[in-house]
Structure 1
Amino acid sequence: MAAVGATNVCLRKVDVATIYDMICNHHVTHMCGAPIVLKILANAPNIESLTHPVHILTAGSPPPTTVLSRAESIGFKVDHGYGMTETGGLVVSCAWKREWNQLPMSERARLKARQGMRTIGMTEVDVVDPESGVSVTRDGSSLGEIVLRGACIMLGYLKDPVGTTKCMDNKRGRFYTGDVGVMHSDGYLEIKDRSKDVIISGGENVSSVEVESILYSHPLVNEAAVVARPDEFWGETPCAFVSLKAESGQVTEKEIIEYSRERMPHYMAPKSVVFKDELPKTSTGKIQKFVLRDIAKSMGNGALKQVVH
């Protein structure tokens, strides 16, 4: 943007009031932010519609559809992408189709929550079986590992041949991202989780992202993150960390669990809920799941053997 004469407005920290002030005072038209920043903006109390449209590019983790709907109702035009340091930036973008504008808001949000299609410079974006390297069925439900191939992919990690070997397939020229995803029939990629964040409960794979999306649909939930908690019976169970909106009333662990069980298979629903004033984040606003995993482990084994999946 600066290359074409735009003004960069910089923030020293993520603060919702400051962001809205900057948008108004500097007439900001384009901005970037992790999905958690989008959530903070969407859930801010007493926020009226923007006086002008603001395009916001988000990436880093899949944004919940409820957050996308709320953000767009305020006046944000959300662009969704996917990339990482190893790819030199965004390599997948959720290219918007004009006919989707006629769909209901909930359906538009569902489509926009997908990561999208490969950008210029990428030769391949696919979801494959991590063992065989064969592409999974493009049905929007068959899970596999996301692989990338193209001119902007790194050659390897500096002075780390072991790490390079683990993620690079030099024969095929593929970079294995460690992200779990699905491919839809229209060729759009959708991330389901980081492989390290997948919870294996009673032999079933639970996507923390899918559980978090349901939690974010609760009217009183401000932030949500789900990690594995050790369990003697199931091996692991989903443990939800939740912060509530400032104006919300009291919500109990039982209410959150019941709300989840009504909207997803019971084996996916959180078996324990931890309420916090604010979830730990990086300087860019991403929730630090490794901190939450340590807390969940310190809670000991779950004792909900009577819960039937």
Structure 2
Amino acid sequence: MESVPQDGKTIGEIVLRGSSIMKGYLKDEVATSKAFKKGWFFTGDVGVIHPDGYLEIKDRSKDVIISGGENISSVELESVLYKHPRVLEAAVVAMPHPRWGESPCAFISLRENETSQKGDVKEADIISYCRKNLPHFMIPKKVKFLSQLPKTSTGKIQKFQLRAMAKTFQVTEKKSTQINKEIPQYHVEGHEQILAMSRL
């Protein structure tokens, strides 16, 4: 496989193979065929390799937003949103964009306190906050406020519900062709297993 550069910036999917890797999912050939390709197990986690060889996990591959050829980690964007003093919960998913293919959409529930009033934090406030703390391509094109985000019984945010909502949102832009990238990969060989990074 072709290597992803060790620049700490290029995001790739982490793939593994070796004697300690499972052979497949029990009685689920479909899931097994999706996860294994040419002997490699595709973990679904994505990350970057730093110049010193350190692997930093960034996100789940299904949650990465590809906007105009830029790979945006929803986790990184969410971590910035959580630093806003009024944000209680935050989740970022992809929404359609006519020029860039996808763009970030943030769902937020607000923290209430003794001085807060309904409607005192607006979409423009959150976007302005993001402009001060994020690269321009990571800034959400839409911010949707909810009283609470949908969760499982264990408290995990159900992003599939938010993705369904975000698909109905629109950004008015001129149409253009979405940029596609090839998928080179990165290898690190250890004693018993091999790890690779497949660029998104």
Tell me the TM-score normalised to structure 1 length.
0.50
Q: Residue 136 of structure 2 aligns with which residue?
A: 266
- Inter-partner Cα distance in structure 1 for 2:146 and 2:26: 39
Q: Residue 28 of structure 2 aligns with which residue?
A: 160
| 8 A contact 1:271–1:304 mirrored in 2 | no
Tell me the TM-score normalised to structure 2 length.
0.75
| 8 A contact 1:143–1:182 mirrored in 2 | yes
- Return the index of the structure with the highest Cα Rg: 1
Q: Which protein has greater RCO, CA pairs closer than 8 Å, 6+ apart? A: 2
| 8 A contact 2:98–2:173 mirrored in 1 | no
Structure 2 residue aligned with 1:302, among 171, 193, 197? 171
Q: Which moved more, 1:232-241 or 1:143-152?
A: 143-152
- Inter-partner Cα distance in structure 1 for 2:17 and 2:56: 17
Q: Residue 101 of structure 1 aligns with which residue?
A: none
C-alpha change, 1:276 and 1:304, in structure 2 (3 Å) is: farther
Residues 45-84 of structure 1 aligned to structure 2 (within 5 Å): none
Unaligned runs of 5+ in 2: 175-200
The CA RMSD over aligned residues, in Å, is: 2.2
Of all paired residues, the percent bearing the same amino acid is: 62
Q: Residue 221 of structure 1 aligns with which residue?
A: 87
| 8 A contact 1:139–1:183 mirrored in 2 | yes
Deviation of the 1:185 alpha carbon: 3.9
Q: Which moved more, 1:143-152 or 1:174-183?
A: 143-152
Q: Residue 282 of structure 1 aligns with which residue?
A: 152
C-alpha change, 1:188 and 1:206, in structure 2 (3 Å) is: same
C-alpha change, 1:271 and 1:184, in structure 2 (3 Å) is: same
- Inter-partner Cα distance in structure 2 for 1:150 and 1:246: 50
Structure 1 residue aligned with 2:99, among 233, 237, 241? 233
Residues 77-116 of structure 1 aligned to structure 2 (within 5 Å): none
> What amino acid is aligned across from residue 108 of structure 2 in structure 1?
V
Q: Residue 193 of structure 1 aligns with which residue?
A: 59
- Inter-partner Cα distance in structure 2 for 1:297 and 1:238: 11
Deviation of the 1:255 alpha carbon: 0.6
SS at match of 1:180: strand
Q: What is the CA deviation profile of residues 104-124 of structure 1, one whole-angstrom value per residue up to 9, with x for unaligned ones? A: xxxxxxxxxxxxxxxxxxxxx
Deviation of the 1:273 alpha carbon: 0.4
Deviation of the 1:244 alpha carbon: 1.2
Deviation of the 1:187 alpha carbon: 4.1
Q: Residue 179 of structure 2 aligns with which residue?
A: none
Deviation of the 1:151 alpha carbon: 5.0
Structure 2 residue aligned with 1:141, among 2, 6, 9? 9
Deviation of the 1:170 alpha carbon: 5.7
| 8 A contact 2:11–2:71 mirrored in 1 | no
SS at match of 2:154: coil
| 8 A contact 1:198–1:206 mirrored in 2 | yes
SS at match of 2:167: helix
| 8 A contact 1:202–1:234 mirrored in 2 | yes
SS at match of 1:260: helix
> What amino acid is aligned across from residue 30 of structure 2 in structure 1?
V
- Inter-partner Cα distance in structure 1 for 2:54 and 2:112: 36
- Inter-partner Cα distance in structure 1 for 2:152 and 2:171: 28
Count of residue pairs brought into register by the alignment: 170
SS at match of 1:303: coil
Deviation of the 1:186 alpha carbon: 4.4
